[in-house]
Each structure stands twice: as C-alpha cells, then as structure tokens.
Amino acid sequence: MIPTLEWLPEGVNFLDQTKLPLEETYVLATDYKQVATVIRDMIVRGAPAIGVSGAMGVAIGIDRSTAATIADLTAEVALICDLLASTRPTAVNLFWGINRIRELYNTLAAQPGASIAAIKQAVVAEARRMYDEDIAACKQMGAHGAHLLPKQGTVLTHCNAGALATCGYGTALGVIRAAIEQGHNIDVLADETRPFLQGARLTAWEMMKDNIPTTVICDNMAASLMHAGKLQAIVVGADRIAANGDVANKIGTYGVAILAKEHGIPFYVACPWSTIDLATPNGDAIPIEQRAAIEVTHHGGKQLTPNGVGIENPAFDVTPARYVTAIITERGVLRQPYGEALQGLEAATASAR
Amino acid sequence: MIPTLEWLPEGVNFLDQTKLPLEETYVLATDYKQVATVIRDMIVRGAPAIGVSGAMGVAIGIDRSTAATIADLTAEVALICDLLASTRPTAVNLFWGINRIRELYNTLAAQPGASIAAIKQAVVAEARRMYDEDIAACKQMGAHGAHLLPKQGTVLTHCNAGALATCGYGTALGVIRAAIEQGHNIDVLADETRPFLQGARLTAWEMMKDNIPTTVICDNMAASLMHAGKLQAIVVGADRIAANGDVANKIGTYGVAILAKEHGIPFYVACPWSTIDLATPNGDAIPIEQRAAIEVTHHGGKQLTPNGVGIENPAFDVTPARYVTAIITERGVLRQPYGEALQGLEAATASAR
C-alpha cells in the first residue's frame, strides 16, 4: 500500500511527492493552512488525491478550531474553504472535496442544538470516509476498465494517475493494475511528463514497487514508438471532464490523444465521478493553471535556459471529447456521445439512490 | 557571428555545446581522434556542422600525419575515416563530409608524382571551403524559404537547426533569420527538446544573441498552443532525407508534424543538399541512433528516475514525407511528390555543372 496521504491523530500525513523517487519522506500537516501549502506546492497532487486532501483540509480546520460558538465556527469555515479553494484551479475534485465537507457542516450547523464537538467528529469521519470511497472507486474503475486493455501488450500512460494521485490503487494505473491482476501481460510505457516529471519520478516509482515492467520515455518519443507498433493502448487520468466529455488533464495529454488517433490506438481516460463537472459545458470553460517558469527553466537547482528567455508553463491542456475512445469511471464505462452518456449515468445513479 | 567551429593553425576549435547556455567555452581538437570525440560527445552537433566537422577531422588527420609515403598515408586515411564515420550514424552529412575529403585524397594520391605536402594543403583547403559553402548554403536556404513564413506571427522550431547546428546562420533558424531581415515580424517558439535540451539551451541562446523574441516550451505543450492558434508555421532541420522525402530529424519531430497536420499548420524542413540521401529509398532504411539512458535518467548530475526502470532513448525519428509541406534547400524549395522533386533538382544541378 502506497501511503499517499493518511489521516492521523496528529494531522494529515502526506508522502512528499516532490522528493520521489530518491527520497521517501513525509510532511505532516497539523492545520488547514499547512494542508493548503501541501496542495499548492504539489507535495500531494493528482485530482482525486487533491479532492480528498481538500476535504481533509476543511475537516482539520474545523477539528482544530477554537471557536466557541457555531456562528464563529461558520465564519472560520468560510475562510478555511476559501484558502483551500485558492490553491489550484483546474482539478474540479478539489472543489468537490471542499464542498462536500462544507455542505455537511452547513447541514449540521443549521440543526437546532448543534454541538461543535459532534460537528467536529462528523466532519472528520466524513473526510475519512471519502478516503475509503476514493480507493473503492479506483478498484471499481479497474473492474470496469480492465477488459479494455490488451491481454498482452504495452500500455502508455502520461503523468501519474496512480496510487500517488489518489488515496491508493490509482485511476489509469488502477485499470492497469486490475488488468494485470486478471492475468493480462502488460508492460507500462511512462511518458516522463515535463516539466514536473510525474511519469519519470512517480509512475515509474510506484510501478516498480509493484514489480510491473515499466519503461520511461521522453514525451516526444511516444509518436515514433506508436509508428513502430510498440504500444497497443493509452490510458490516462483526468483533472476535470466537462459536460460534453472534453477532458482537462496534465499538459501533453492532448498531443498524445492526437497521436493515438493518427495511429489508430485506443485512448482511454479513467477517473472517479468526482472529476466530472456537469456544470462546465465544455473544455473552453475549464480554467487552466499556469505555473511558475522555474519549473521549466531549472531542474535540480541547475539552470537549463538562458537568462531572460520567455517561458510558457500551462499545467494542463484540454482534449476534445472526439479523441477519447472511452471514459472509465466507478459507475461504468462511457462511450461517445459523452454529453448524453454522462447525463444518463448521472440520472441513473441519482434515481437509484 | 556564432563561432560553432573554426579551423585554426593549432587545430579545429569547437564551441562546447554541452556547456551552453551558461558557459561559453571551447574545445580545441588537435588531431582527428579528438575531433571524433567532439562529435560523439555532442560538443558539436547538428547535421551540417557534423558534416563539416567530419571533413575537418579527415583533413586534420591527413595534415598531422607523419607518414613518409603515399601508401602509408592511404592506409592511415582509411583508419581516420573509419573512426570518424563510427561516431554517429543518423546524419548523412557526416559521411558526405568524410567522403568528400577522402575522394579528393584518393584523386590526388592516384596522380603520378603525388606530393604529400601538396595533398595536405589541398585537403585542408577543401575542408575550409566546405565551411564557407555551408554558410553560403544556409544563406541561400534563407533566401529561398523566407517568404514561406508569416509576415507577422509565431514560428515553432524543434531542436536546434541554427548557427550552432551549422557553420553559421542556420538552416531552419536561417530561414527565420532571413524572414526577419526581410521585415517579417516573427516570434520564435522553441521546443525544449528532451532529453538533450537543444531547444532550451541552444536555440534559445542563439536567438537571444540576435535579439529575436523567443519563448521556450516543454515539448508536450506544443499541441495546446496550436489548438489555441498561437503559432502560424513550423520549421525544423533534418539529419537525413531519403529519396522519397521521408525526413529523419531530432526525436519528437514526427510528433510535431502530426500535430501540425491536425491543426492545419504548415510544416517546413530546411536543410542543405548534403542532407539528402538519394541512396536511401525511404525512412525505414535510415539508421536511428540510440543514445545512452543517462541522458534521460539524469540531468545536471541529478537522478530523475528510480533505479532499474527501463529507458528508451532514440535520438531521432522519421517523419513520413506526406506530413512535410515543403523542403527548403540551397537549390530551391521542393514540394510533394518529393521523390520526383528531389530527382529532378539533382539532375538539373548535375546537368548545369
């Protein structure tokens, strides 16, 4: 079990993903401000993990509060949620995670005779439940999606949509793990994923922990390997999926999707339902985080570029729905047209509740 | 003038491209073995520069030889050429450069009363002439190709096909320089070009020396910038062009060409005629250099990947001719079908001689 994040009595403990693969160290966040810093600095990253981290951030903020009245606590909750929501803009799971605890808080706080102690207990329990649900959702994605992967072959993934991007097991890498557990003979090809190198550092690290044969390539090598017939499927995660099926994911995903289409290779997206944002009509409406130039200009303290050159560093891009062969969720596998498929599965799940 | 390489009385002086952009240092090669090392270690790189370096390597080998007879010198020339030809396999210019000096040597050595002193003088003069011809060819490419670039806009390039890849001015960057000299208002977008970072380190450095506005991006960002309409043309160099127009160039070029097609952006290749290899029927027959894993796994002495993970590091890929909008050479601009166009221009030039 890869300990991406964990609720402990003393705080939320995060595996420091900026230090992998060479160091396995932890950052203990003992208040919500520290959780916000952990998310902003990408000590934890990956949309589902960020979602649960946001929930745990609100929960720890409420739990550690010294407010003496519900009114004071409510005011504090607003500040807590605002800070956590300001950390990263693209992954909708963050807002989903924050809002789920906030809504529970609002419901409990509005009840006659609401007790601060009982509220604290309830929000912490809810955040911890979301952790368990996230792992269960990953396992379900695996169960639904494993048959899509080849019985024998190489599967390319971009960035890290694994145990390290979730509370465990992974979304895209969860589907790969499930296929392997079902007897598929799969090699993983990991795009290194510049500039933050989540593929080279994180996907490679967690695949090797599980003894899954893995090869790292530079992002710009995928096309020639596709041309040579060296990979049979692609599976990636997502940071937000709009109502029409457009997929925001790590920068470079869109390019991989175009290459997949050009070579007739299936391109799958795996994510929990909390990544789906039916309130956002299409990819153009998804905010794309721009990160600091230093992620591109430097590595390991060494400067790569000449002083003063311009730099672009968008952290995500949008893959139009037409490039996506299927979307794998814990509720099932969706196919085009995604607008109808997403609405249908949302309605079916709501009516089944 | 960027001093990529220079024939000096004491040897061939190379700007050390592995140290750019932070250090501008030189490596003086005083014998042919040192020239071979400089090429193999990519202290000099870029197909046209490698071609002239190979020629200068043979010339310095002959010039510094202590052979007392033509027979001894001829045996030595074979060794010299073999070593230099073994340094890098993909750029055909290397073999063209070596062979041009070798053929001149063979002609002179076969003459009755051949003098070693006269041969030495002649081969050095020929290698230095190739240097001048290379710069002139770049200027001609610029003259032929400049009108293809937008009057106003952003041009993407991959790797470094600039002054640093030639004896000066550049192929792809030469076309950009020529367009700017003709009054075009062009910004350059430079793919950083993993793993060796020729774009981030070299293209950015030489463009900034010329005050040409330049932005560096990670290779995987090009697709989203194309989608956003932020670039109007692409121009790259080449390491070898087969008889059917297939283009071997720096790894990642093929992917850029596919993205260009998908977004309707013209994709130009600029190279001297010495890059065209009519003896190689198509891209499948071009040998692709595989370089050491450490270029991918480490940067600046820092390890990026976990121990033991697999690595692929092909240094080049092949872009099928159908993706290429035009090939810009010093003899003119070629359009599809390239097989006929290349044969036609070769025949026309031969008959004009």
Whether A218 sits inside 8 A of B219 (CB atoms) is yes
DSSP 8-class letter at A154 = E
Computed on alpha carbons and rounded to an integer, the radius of gyration of chain A in Å comes to 20
Mutation site, A219, A221, A291, A317, interface B, largest B CB count within 10 A: A221
What's the pLDDT score for residue B301? 82
Letter for the amino acid at A293?
A: A
Q: Write the CB contacts of A94 (distance below 8 Å, at least 6 apart in sequence).
A: A39, A47, A50, A51, A53, A54, A84, A85, A87, A88
First to last CA, chain A: 31
Q: According to the model, what pLDDT value does residue A352 have?
A: 80
Contact B304 A192 (CB under 8 A): yes
Task: Give the model's pLDDT for residue B45.
Answer: 97
- Helices (DSSP H) in chain B: which residue ranges? 32-40, 47-63, 70-85, 92-110, 116-145, 172-181, 198, 204-209, 222-227, 253-263, 294-297, 338-352
| Mean pLDDT, rounded, of chain B | 97
- How does pLDDT run across B38-62, given as a tens digit for each residue? 999 999 999 999 999 999 999 999 9
Task: Note whether B324 and B245 are within 8 A (CB).
Answer: yes
> CB-side exposure of B349: number of CA atoms within 13 Å?
11
Q: What size, in residues, is chain B?
A: 353
Does pLDDT of B154 surpass 80?
A: yes
What CA–CA distance (Å, rounded) separates A190 from A199? 5
Q: What is the Cα–Cα distance from B152 to B182, expressed in whole angstroms?
A: 12
Strands B240-242 and B310-311: unpaired
Q: Enter the tokens of residue A261.
A: 């289409």
Q: Which of A255, A301, A310 sits opposite B220 (nearest CB)?
A: A255
Interface test with A, best of B198, B218, B227, B302 (most A CBs within 10 A): B218
The strand pair at B240-242 and B276-277 is best described as parallel
Report the amino acid identity of residue B157.
T
How far is Cα B223 from Cα B162, in angstroms, rounded to an integer? 23
For position B300, what pLDDT does the model report? 78
Closest alpha carbon to A231 in A210, A252, A217: A217
For residue A39, give the amino acid letter: I
Q: Which of A48, A42, A4, A58 is nearest to A276 (CA)?
A: A48
CB pairs under 8 A between A and B: 186
Model pLDDT, residue A299 = 87
3-state DSSP call for residue B167?
Answer: coil
Chain A residues 265-304 with CB within 8 Å of chain B: 296-297, 299-304
Active site residues of A: 239
Optimal mutation site among A309, A311, A322, A323, interface B, most CBs of chain B within 10 A: A309
Are residues B313 and A213 in contact, defined by beta-carbon separation less than 8 angstroms?
Answer: no
Q: Position of tokens 């052979």?
A: B67
| Interatomic CA distance for residues A97 and A102, integer angstroms | 9
- Selection from B17, B8, B9 nearest residue B42 by Cα: B17
**Contact yes or no for A308 and B208 at CB 8 A:** yes
User: What is d(CA B13, CA B26) in angstroms, rounded to the nearest whole number?
Assistant: 7
Task: Please tell me whether the peptide bond between A21 and the residue prior to it is cis, using omega within 30 degrees of 0.
Answer: yes
Pairwise CA distance, residues B120 & A346, whole Å = 81
Cβ pair A217:B312 closer than 8 A: yes
**Contact: A301, B296; criterion CB under 8 Å:** no
Residue-by-residue DSSP string for A70-102: HHHHHHHHHHHHHHHHTS-SS-HHHHHHHHHHH
Cross-chain residue pair A219–B194, CB shorter than 8 Å: yes
Whether chain A has a CB inside 8 Å of the CB on B312: the answer is yes
**CB contact (8 A) between residue A317 and residue B227:** yes
Contacts of A301 in chain B (CB under 8 A): 300, 302
Q: Are B19 and B70 in contact (CB under 8 A)?
A: no
Considering CB atoms only, which of B200, B219, B305 is closest to A201?
B305
With CB atoms and an 8 Å threshold, state whether A309 touches B223. Answer: no
Q: Which residues of B touch A201 (CB under 8 A)?
A: 304-306
Distances (CA, A) of B338 to A82, A168, B245, B346: 60, 53, 5, 12
Please give the Cα distance from A35 to B140 (Å, whole number). 59
For the segment A203-241, what is each residue's pLDDT rounded down to a tens digit?
999 999 999 999 999 999 999 999 999 999 999 999 999
Please name the amino acid found at residue A30.
Answer: T
Q: Which residues of B touch A262 (CB under 8 A)?
A: 258, 261-262
Q: Determine what percent of chain B is predicted with pLDDT higher than 70.
A: 100
Closest to B123 in 3D by CA, of B109, B138, B137: B109
What residue in B sits closest to A315 (Cα-Cα)? B221
C-beta atoms of B308 and A208 within 8 A: yes
Omega into B21 within 30° of 0, i.e. cis? Answer: yes
Q: How far apart are CA A123 and CA A106, in angstroms?
A: 11
The residue type of A67 is A
Give the whole-angstrom CA distance, residue A60 versus residue A101.
11
The Cα A171–Cα A161 span in angstroms is 6
β-partners of residue A329 are A332
Considering only CB atoms, A194 lies closest to which of B205, B208, B220, namely B220
Out of A214, A215, A251, the one facing B221 most closely (by C-beta) is A251
Q: What is d(CA A33, CA A144) in angstroms, rounded to the nearest whole number? A: 37
Tens of pLDDT along A149-166? 999 999 999 999 999 999
Q: Does A85 touch chain B (CB under 8 A)?
A: no
Nearest CA of chain B to the CA of A208: how many Å?
Answer: 7
Q: Which residues pair with A11 in a beta bridge?
A: A8
C-alpha to C-alpha distance for B242 and B249, rounded to whole angstroms: 11
Query: With an 8 Å Cβ cutoff, are B208 and A251 in contact?
Result: no
> What do you get for the CA distance between the two ends of chain B, in Å?
31
Residues A234/A256, Cβ–Cβ less than 8 Å: yes
Calpha distance A172→B326 (Å, rounded): 40
CB contact under 8 A, B300 and A301: yes
Looking at residue A1, its pLDDT comes to: 77
Q: Which residues contact B254 (CB under 8 A, 6 or more apart)?
A: A223, A224, A227, B317, B318, B319, B320, B323
Q: What distance in Å separates the CA atoms of residue B315 and residue B299, rounded to the nearest whole number?
A: 16
Would the pTM count as exceeding 0.95?
A: yes
Among A298, A305, A323, most B C-beta atoms within 10 A, so best to mutate, is A305
Min distance A164 CA to chain B CA atoms (Å):
15
Query: Which residue of chain B comes nearest to A224, CA vs CA?
Result: B317
At B285, the pLDDT band (50, 70, 90 cuts) reads very high
Beta-bridged to residue B329, according to DSSP, are B332
pLDDT at residue B1 greater than cutoff 80: no
pLDDT in tens, B137-149: 999 999 999 999 9
Q: Are the C-beta atoms of A248 and A284 separated by less than 8 Å?
A: no
Contact A306 B21 (CB under 8 A): yes
Exposure letters A48-76 (e unless 16+ CB within 10 A, then b): bbbbbbbbbbbbbbbbebeeeebeebeeb
Q: Which of residues 187-216 of A touch B (CB under 8 A)?
A: 191-195, 197, 200-201, 204-205, 207-208, 213-216
Question: How many Cα atoms occupy the beta-carbon half-sphere of A1 within 13 Å?
Answer: 6
Closest CB from B300, B305, B314 relative to A221: B314
Q: Which helix (H) or strand (E) holds A174?
A: helix A172-181
The dihedrals phi and psi of A38, each to the nearest 5 degrees, come to -60, -40
Chunked mean pLDDT (size 10), chain A, 353 residues: 93 97 97 98 97 98 98 98 96 97 98 96 98 98 98 98 98 98 98 98 97 98 98 98 98 98 98 97 97 93 94 98 98 98 93 78
User: For residues A250 and A245, what is the distance between their CA atoms, to the nearest angstrom?
Assistant: 16
The shortest CB-CB distance from B218 to any of A194, A205, A308 is to A194
